[in-house]
Amino acid sequence: MASAPRHRLTQTVDPPAAVLRRRSASAVIVVLVAVVPALLGGWPFVTLLVTIGLIGIRELAHAFRRAGHSVDYRLSGALFLVTLLSIALLRTPVEILLAVSVAVMFPLVWSLTSARHQEALASAALTSLAVLYLALPLGAAGVMRGLEGASSRGWLQRIAEYLNSADTGLGLAWFLWGLSVTWLTDAFAYLFGARFGHTKLVPHLSPGKTRAGALAGLLAGSVTGCLGAAVFGVPLPFWLALLAGLVVSLTAQVGDLAESLMKRAAGLKDLGHLIPGHGGVVDRIDALLFTLPLTLALATLVEEVHWL
């Protein structure tokens, strides 16, 4: 297999204030685009997940091509749709297992006709990675939003009732809790890292991330875990909300670094340019792709154990 082409990663450094203004303006738009369908639930939310995923598949396919591997966007997009809809809509273990199996096996079958065995194997592996990397977390978001039960906070439950989703008010609360912990972790890590960060966290993956920023993100995640549980009516006692916020915050930062690995392999600063100040769709949701399944697991555990 031919060696992957090397790309020089070049970037211009904008003033922090200008970067912050772009990021803030984009963040407001992103929050509106994400939260409004989440409030509505049902098909509007599933449509949002499908749209995000298909854009993300295209961004990943482009990155993998830059790294020297061909990934068929049509195949990966079709497999993504099958996997996501099986998880978000069917929600039964058998259908989910079958969908994941197809996402893993079908790219291998697709590659059997290729005479370039090593490249075909790499392409099949990366196709499955792209599909599962996006479909599993976004599917988890769909399952989480559909969790039945009422939020203990009247204001949120009234919104759910007004939008004809009163029976899934608890699912909305969990989704907003996970979203808040993840995004505030990212925001505080960026702000404190830019202002006080000197020692790099993982310089070979993400030169912009610092230890000070990571610690600030963890603190913000813990505090948001507690405040978010109170604001959204998530059934977590104080100590567990603090711990859960910390774990979700740590997971968010790991997800961010994992996406940085893919960008470095492709020689890219960002996977896309759709969102000013943030890059592409995957650049914006990289942390959520790790925290959404964890938040769903936490919500399921809390439902079984009944901490409150």
pLDDT at 12: 46
| Cα gap 131→79, rounded to integer Å | 7
pLDDT reading at 33 higher than 50:
yes
Residue 32 has pLDDT above 60, yes or no: yes
Of residues 293, 280, 261, 305, the one with CA closest to residue 67? 261
- H helical segments located in 71-200: 73-85, 93-110, 117-145, 154-162, 169-196
As given in the structure block, the two tokens for residue 221 are: 């995640």
How confident is the model over 235-239, as a mean pLDDT? Answer: 93
Indicate the pLDDT class of residue 16, thresholds 50, 70 and 90: low
Residue 215, pLDDT score = 95
Q: Tell me: pLDDT of 91 over 90.
A: no
Provide mean pLDDT across the span 146-160.
90
Q: How far apart are CA 164 and CA 167, in angstroms?
A: 8
Mean pLDDT of the chain: 88
Model confidence pLDDT, tens digit, residues 40-73: 999 999 999 999 999 999 999 999 998 888 888 9
Residues in the chain: 308
Q: CA–CA separation, 181 vs 184, rounded Å?
A: 5
pLDDT score of 148: 92
Q: How far apart are CA 224 and CA 181, in angstroms?
A: 6
| β-pairing verdict for 200-202 and 206-210 | antiparallel
pLDDT at position 1 is: 43
Alpha-carbon torsion, ordered 231, 235, 236, 238, to 10 deg:
50
Q: Is the pLDDT of residue 14 over 70?
A: no
- Give the pLDDT confidence score for residue 55 in this predicted structure: 96
Q: Which residue has the higher pLDDT, 144 or 90?
A: 144
> Taking every pair of C-alpha atoms in the chain, what is the biggest distance, in angstroms?
62
pLDDT of residue 21: 65
Tell me phi and psi for residue 25, to 5 degrees: -65, -45
Per-residue pLDDT reduced to its tens digit, 102-119: 999 999 998 888 878 888
Greater confidence (168 vs 247) lies with 247
Per-residue pLDDT tens digits for 242-288: 999 999 999 999 999 999 999 988 888 888 888 776 688 999 899 99
